[in-house]
A and B are shown apart, each in its own frame.
Chain A
Amino acid sequence: DQVFHIVPETLQQVQHLQHLCSTLLLDLWKPQLPEDISTGEDLHIRVPARLVQEVKDSLDHHMISYKVLIPDVQELVDQSMPKERKSHRQVPEGYVYTQYHPMDEIYQWMTQIQKSNSELVTQHSLGKTIENRTLYYLQISQPSDKTKKIIWMDCGIHAREWISPAFCQWFVKEILQNYKSDPKISRFLQNLDLYVLPVLNIDGYMYSWEKDRLWRKNRSPYMNGTCYGTDLNRNFNSSWGSIGVSYNCTSEIFCGSGPESEPETRAVAQFIEKKKSDILCYLTIHSYGQYILTPYGSTTEPPSNSEELMHVAKKAADALMGKYGTSYEVGSTSLILYSNSGSSRDWAHMIGIPFSYTFELRDNGTHGFLLPSEQIQPTCEETM
């Protein structure tokens, strides 16, 4: 990240700068508020690394001269506050999978993972979040002449469920570290492609790091910006808005203004819809509760392949328990948990993906969303 120093010369420049700050949600260091930006007065803005080029281009285009006051904000922070985690930050060889990571680090991790495993991994964009951040998934695919079926897994639909993105990262690492030596994984990749979305609700996840640890929804503004957030797992087009939701933005289970009203939902749904004939299995990872949930949440009517779904889920739960004795309950959401509509899992099954599961990872409520980082490893190992 860099901090720019600008002294606006004309009213037009002021207006452009105000516009830039509010649309890109830039961090104003001086003055405090965009409305206080004025001609002849010092302006200090912190620009996140990924937007530096865009901002520079915009300033050049509008003939606004600037100086880079701080070329590397992180360096300054580290100097003032030595962190023991510093050495682990950039490099996946040193990436600490047993710690929770903020979004910036996860973005860097994705780039690095692709770079160091380019024969197998490609990174793709699905679209943007409401706050204009890019949604990326990783495709793990062994080159072959046959078309392979796809297993899709997304993590972090709900911001506060930190163990979920931690698991996606762990999963990718395990596959890439062991595909040559582990016969099970190697056979897997001969026949299947893995698509992993480490954080679906990026804006919400960042918000849970920076402002409110127990935030759940996305950061979509409603009611003129007086209320924020749609529950993305009530926003899919599966009996949308029918049960287990709220139509009020202040609720944690607000289903949005309509099915797929949120850009995050649309980005994922459009992609999966396109690929659905090749997708064998849809997995979505949540916490907490220790469940493997099958469709549906919106009705107690069992899905057409309910026996097979249950059989596979039970085997998974048994395998999971075999590792550390952790017990998971298996069943349809509407029967063992509560009713809800608009979930991604229900939607995936309704459009024809035969195996669709929600995993609710550890724990049972003792720590709930605040699962200690010491539990990342055992949770991920058993779930793997």
Chain B
Amino acid sequence: DIDDVGHKYYLELVLEDVLDKDSTVNCTAEVLYHLGNKNIAPDVQFTLEGELKNTEEADNIFYSRIKSLEKELVAENIPDSHGNVPPEMEPVRLLAWVASGYVIWQNSTENTKFQLAQIKRVKQVKRSDEYLEFDYTILLHEMVSQEIIPWQMTVLWHPQHGVQVTQDSRQPKHASQ
């Protein structure tokens, strides 16, 4: 407890490479949840004890593949109802996962626990520069309320410049219930 400021958590965690379970890196972090105002994202500081794997090769393969598509990429329901993801969509899913991490961070409080549930729709947006741009509509699952929340996010990516969420907004739930 930090009076008049909020609650600070000290964390020791282990990062595990999703694509290589034996590859781990230790990490320490401090998270500060601000008192009162629910519209400020928690402050996060972290230190990696070691290095993250180099992903240049895989990044470049994905980048070239998308750049060489004749038509802009469009896809829906990743994973599908049975949990399946076509192999060529896996990087698209991972990109969404990273980008959703940003959205989740910006919208988290001490009383929320968000997970990416599904990519409802993804559409590649044509760009004149070297960046790749994807317009995602994702579904976030919030554990405490059990709600499924649609969220739109515009994601920029480049192998050397990393991921950026340039725009995101919470979407209204369908009236179809």
Interface SS of B by simple majority: loop
Chain A residues positioned under 8 Å from B147 (CB to CB) = 251-252
Q: Are B79's CB and A372's CB within 8 A?
A: yes
Closest to B78 in A: A370
- Give the residue name and chain of the B residue nearest to A228 (CB): B177
Q: Is the CB of A365 within 8 A of B79?
A: no
Label chain A's interface by main secondary structure.
Answer: loop
Contact A213 B146 (CB under 8 A): no
The answer, yes or no, to whether A371 is at the interface (CB within 8 Å) is: yes
A347 within 8 Å of B (CB atoms): no
Residues of B within 8 A of A253 (CB): 145-146
Query: For chain B, which range describes its interface: under 10, 10 to 19, 20 to 34, or 35 or more residues?
Result: 20 to 34
Binding site for A on B (CB under 8 A): 18, 79-85, 115-118, 139, 141, 143-148, 173, 176-177
When A and B form their complex, what is the total count of cross-chain residue pairs whose Cβ atoms lie within 8 Å? 63
Residues in B neighbouring A289, C-beta threshold 8 A: 143
A-side interface size class: 20 to 34
Asked if residues A367 and B83 are in contact (CB atoms below 8 Å), the reply is: yes
**Do A252 and B148 touch across chains, with their CB atoms under 8 A apart?**
yes
| Alpha-carbon distance between A369 and B80 when the two chains are bound, in angstroms | 11
Which residues of chain A are within 8 angstroms of B176 by Cβ–Cβ distance? Answer: 211-212
A24 to chain B, nearest CB (A): 22
Give Cα A382–Cα B146 distance, bound, in whole angstroms.
26
The proximity string for A residues 365-384 relative to B, scoring 1 for CB distances below 8 Å and 0 otherwise, is 11111111111000000000
By the criterion CB–CB under 8 Å, are B146 and A373 in contact?
Answer: no
In contact, B83 and A338 (Cβ under 8 angstroms) = no
Are the C-beta atoms of A369 and B141 separated by less than 8 Å? yes
Known: A229-B177, A372-B84. A251 touches B148 (CB 8 A): no
Cβ of B167 to closest chain A Cβ, rounded Å: 24
Given A231-B146, A252-B148; A373-B177 close (CB under 8 Å):
no
A230-273 interface with B by 8 A CB criterion? 231, 244, 246, 250-253
**Across the interface, do B145 and A369 meet the contact criterion of CB distance under 8 Å?**
no
- Docked pose: A227 CA to B83 CA in angstroms: 28
